[in-house]
Amino acid sequence: MASAVAASLSARREQAPGHAAPRATQDPVWVKWLLVGCALTFLAFFLVLPLVAVFAEAFSKGMEVYFAAFRDSDALAAIKLTLITAAIAVPANLVFGVAASWAIAKFNFRGKSLLITLIDLPFAVSPVISGLIYVLVFGAQGWYGQYLEAENPAWPWLHAWLIEQDFKIIFAVPGIVLATIFVTFPFVARELIPLMQSQGTDEEMAAITLGASGWQTFWRVTLPNIKWGLFYGVILCNARAMGEFGAVSVVSGHIRGETNTMPLHVEILYNEYNFVAAFAVASLLALLALVTLVLKSIVEWSHARSLRTETIDR
Amino acid sequence: MPLLRKERSALPGLNLSLGFTLFYLGLIVLVPLSAAFLKTAGMTWEQFVGAVTSDRVLASYKITFLASLAAATVNCIFGLLVAWVLVRYSFPGRRIVDALVDLPFALPTAVAGIALATIYSKKGWVGQFIDPEGAHLLLPEGIKVAFSEIGIFIALTFIGLPFVVRTVQPVLEELEPELEEASATLGANRWQTITRVLLPELFPALITGFALSFARALGEYGSVVFISGNMPMRTEITPLLIITKLEQYDYRGATAIAVVMLVASFLLLLLINLLQKWSRRHHRV
């Protein structure tokens, strides 16, 4: 009896998806619109207004002034450095994400959940501290600085080469790249691990049994299965890599035209009261954010089934 | 017994992929993080306690903690409301609103920071109506948002919102309609159904979202520094104090505060993991 009722209920839901809720569990129309109104007002104030403000301020003195902001050589250098940083950090974390999720999802070993927690660790660290730890390792006071100062260093050839090249890490591009890699470290891995875990190993086992090599199995079987999850992780990773501020701010040294990324350049312009130029550069970053959201939504809508993982919750 | 003991498998590549994973994890994350702890190990206990409990540092803990708590609480309320509206109702533009919720994840924090500071400045779009020095038409006394504690709270609310929405939303989607139907059949009115049936079901997800939002707010820097005014003892958040100490070449002082923050975030991370386990047990899918 009970199962028959449940069956008829679920049958009704299937017939009319979206309109299934019976009256007793439906809110009155005025409640619905009151709640929708409250939610949209809140979002309008907290999300839409800042976004619109970026573009409004950027164009407040007209197109001419807006585009003049990009003729500045420091702005161009900042854009270039941001692109270079993302071009190194994103592929590095992509390779890591694939390797980590292959090991974690396709094999059983002790300490796996500890490893997953450690991979997530950078998300729990404040951006400022992410920069600080690299200053401690590679700064003049840090291990790297001590190595350069050492009288009888280990690996004299490396020491001589580093001195000769005047190879700086902190207050230079390598430090910016390292700090960016740290803050974007988990993005690809945390998308791929649950996705590959849910797919199991059957298809790979079949390919191996049929005589495929490991690489063939990966390229022909695994990769097509995870390509949307991979793309999803990469666009989120890229958005953060290009937009990172706190960590990069600590390690960059703020040398105009040399070690300023776009967010740092925005800060400098803003603090100089050059608001139009600051918001002009910021508008490019806001545009990047919008493109990221659009791509992300497209992936979610068209591949909802193969992407059953959540951005936050694993 | 070795920590990473593997079982035999027909698939190749474990040694390569696991080896690379551990190497990269150590190089990028574990070694640099351990540097912070090693640096403070060189301090005496008195030096360490002195560095992390001076008046200015304590004031920064207080404002960081309270503003994060307030922001996470507001996010809990409005995050639940937004998730409810997105899951339960259909209205024009629902999908766009749904996508827009992730804006704080995608928008660089510095951009959010200057935008919020401009909106709430005394001549800004919102500021002119509420700032004491502006027209403050809406309120008799006016509220100072830019360069005040409230500014920090606004920035942290912006940053934390998606965490609550994205944690509550999937749970709300998976809730069995039978629960509400049964509750209604048994004579509960809508309000009773919501407070006695729905909210207890959503509670684990809600508290997880709260913790995630709070944890993110504690460490946030970019969106806050433009709107907070950075006045020592009043609106100076702890991450900013670390940067200030670094700029004065006080590496030990900066690292000591960083270690306190790291320990706090790791404890929070542990708590969040436990909460998520509890939440998942609560909803056996």
Query: Chain A within 8 Å of B278 (Cβ-Cβ)?
Result: no
Position B181 scores a pLDDT of 84
The per-residue pLDDT for range A88-109, each reduced to its tens digit, is: 999 999 999 999 999 999 999 9
What radius of gyration, in Å, describes the C-alpha atoms of chain B?
A: 23
| Contact in structure between B161 and B71 (CB atoms under 8 Å) | no
pLDDT at A170 exceeding the cut of 80: yes
Whole-angstrom distance, CA of residue A181 vs CA of residue A185: 6
Position B8 scores a pLDDT of 62
In a domain, B88, yes or no: yes
Whole-angstrom distance, CA of residue B219 vs CA of residue B215: 7
Position B146 scores a pLDDT of 84
- CA neighbor of B170 nearest in space, from B217, B215, B208, B211: B208
In a domain, B237, yes or no: yes
Q: Provide the whole-model pTM.
A: 0.89
Whole-angstrom distance, CA of residue A295 vs CA of residue B272: 29
Please answer yes or no on whether A39 and B25 come within 8 Å at the CB atom: no
Give me the domain span that covers residue B97: 36-282
Following DSSP, what letter does each residue of A220-269 receive, concatenated?
IIIHHHHHHHHHHHHHHHHHHHHH--HHHHHHH---TTTT--HHHHHHHH
User: Which of A109, A118, A242 is nearest residue B29 as measured by Cβ atoms?
Assistant: A118
Position B283 scores a pLDDT of 63
Mutation pick from B6, B17, B120, B220 vs chain A, by most beta carbons of A within 10 Å, is B17
Q: What sections of chain A are H helices per DSSP?
A: 2-15, 29-43, 49-58, 63-68, 73-106, 112-124, 127-138, 143-149, 156-165, 173-183, 187-199, 202-209, 214-217, 223-243, 246-252, 262-271, 275-302
> How far does the CA of residue A250 sit from the closest CA of chain B (Å)?
7
Number of domains in chain B: 1
The per-residue pLDDT for range B47-86, each reduced to its tens digit, is: 999 999 999 999 999 999 999 999 999 999 999 999 999 9
Whole-angstrom distance, CA of residue A110 vs CA of residue A123: 24
Please answer yes or no on whether A133 and B243 come within 8 Å at the CB atom: no
pLDDT grade, residue A12 (50/70/90)?
A: very low
What is the pLDDT tens value at each position of chain B, 285 positions in all? 444 555 567 788 899 999 999 999 999 999 999 999 999 988 999 999 999 999 999 999 999 999 999 999 999 999 999 999 999 999 999 999 999 999 999 999 999 999 999 999 988 898 888 888 766 666 777 788 888 999 999 999 999 999 999 999 999 998 888 888 888 888 888 888 888 888 988 999 999 999 999 999 999 999 999 999 888 899 999 999 999 999 999 999 999 999 999 999 999 999 988 888 887 777 654
Please answer yes or no on whether B119 and A208 come within 8 Å at the CB atom: no
Position B167 scores a pLDDT of 94
Q: What are phi and psi of A109, to 5 degrees?
A: -150, 160
Average per-residue pLDDT for chain A: 88
Please answer yes or no on whether A263 and B115 come within 8 Å at the CB atom: no
User: Which of B6, B25, B255 is nearest residue A136 as measured by Cβ atoms?
Assistant: B255
pLDDT at A177 exceeding the cut of 90: yes
Q: What are phi and psi of B41, to 5 degrees?
A: -65, -20
Residues of chain A contacting B180 with CB distance shorter than 8 Å:
21, 24-25
Position B142 scores a pLDDT of 77
Whole-angstrom distance, CA of residue B217 vs CA of residue B71: 8
User: Residue A63 has which token pair?
Assistant: 């197109």
Helices A73-106 and A223-243 meet at what angle, rounded to 10?
A: 140
Helices A73-106 and A275-302 meet at what angle, rounded to 10?
A: 30
Whole-angstrom distance, CA of residue B230 vs CA of residue B253: 19
Task: Pick the more confident residue, B258 or A301.
Answer: B258
User: Which of A185, A285, A310 is nearest residue B111 as measured by Cβ atoms?
Assistant: A285
Position B137 scores a pLDDT of 67
Residues 70-129 on B with a CB inside 8 Å of A are: 78, 81-82, 84-86, 88-91, 95, 97-112, 114-116, 118-119, 124-126
User: Residue B264 has which token pair?
Assistant: 């706090």
Position A165 scores a pLDDT of 86
Q: CB-side exposure of B154: number of CA atoms within 13 Å?
A: 32
- Would you put residue B189 in left (φ > 0), alpha (ψ -120 to 50) or beta? beta
Give Dmax over CA atoms of chain A in angstroms. 87
Residues of chain A contacting B112 with CB distance shorter than 8 Å:
50
**In 3-state terms, what secondary structure has residue A142?**
coil
Please answer yes or no on whether A43 and B100 come within 8 Å at the CB atom: yes
Start-to-end Cα distance in chain B: 34
| CATH number of the domain within which B248 lies | 1.10.3720.10
* Environment class of A289 (CB within 10 Å of its CB; exposed 0-12, middle 13-18, buried 19+): buried
User: Residue B153 has which token pair?
Assistant: 């709270």
In a domain, B10, yes or no: no
To which residue do tokens 């640099």 refer?
Answer: B32
Domain locations in chain A as residue ranges:
63-302
User: Which of A53, A110, A182 is nearest residue B5 as measured by Cβ atoms?
Assistant: A110
Distances from the Cα of A311 to the Cα of A133, A189, B204, B269, angstroms: 27, 12, 18, 16
Position A8 scores a pLDDT of 44
Please answer yes or no on whether A313 and B11 come within 8 Å at the CB atom: no
Position A1 scores a pLDDT of 38
pLDDT at A282 exceeding the cut of 50: yes
Please answer yes or no on whether A111 and B3 come within 8 Å at the CB atom: yes
Residues of chain A contacting B21 with CB distance shorter than 8 Å:
96, 99-100, 103-104, 115
pLDDT at A210 exceeding the cut of 90: yes
Whole-angstrom distance, CA of residue A230 vs CA of residue A219: 13
Position A150 scores a pLDDT of 86
Q: From 1.10.3720.10, 3.90.550.10, 1.10.275.30, 3.40.47.40, which CATH number describes the A63-302 domain?
A: 1.10.3720.10
Please answer yes or no on whether B185 and A24 come within 8 Å at the CB atom: yes
Determine what percent of chain A is predicted with pLDDT higher than 90.
Answer: 70
To which residue do tokens 């937009």 refer?
Answer: A243
- SS3 string, B79-115, reads HHHHHHHHHHCCCCCHHHHHHHCCHHHHCCHHHHHHH
pLDDT at A296 exceeding the cut of 90: yes
Position B138 scores a pLDDT of 67
In a domain, B240, yes or no: yes
pLDDT at A265 exceeding the cut of 60: yes
Position B6 scores a pLDDT of 54
Mutation pick from B111, B207, B225, B271 vs chain A, by most beta carbons of A within 10 Å, is B111
Residue type for position B155: A
The per-residue pLDDT for range A194-209, each reduced to its tens digit, is: 999 998 899 999 999 9
| B159 Cβ contact list (under 8 Å, min separation 6) | B71, B104, B109, B112, B216, B217, B220, B223
User: Residue A181 has which token pair?
Assistant: 């890699």
Task: Pick the more confident residue, B132 or A223.
Answer: A223
Residue of B nearest to A21 (CA): B177
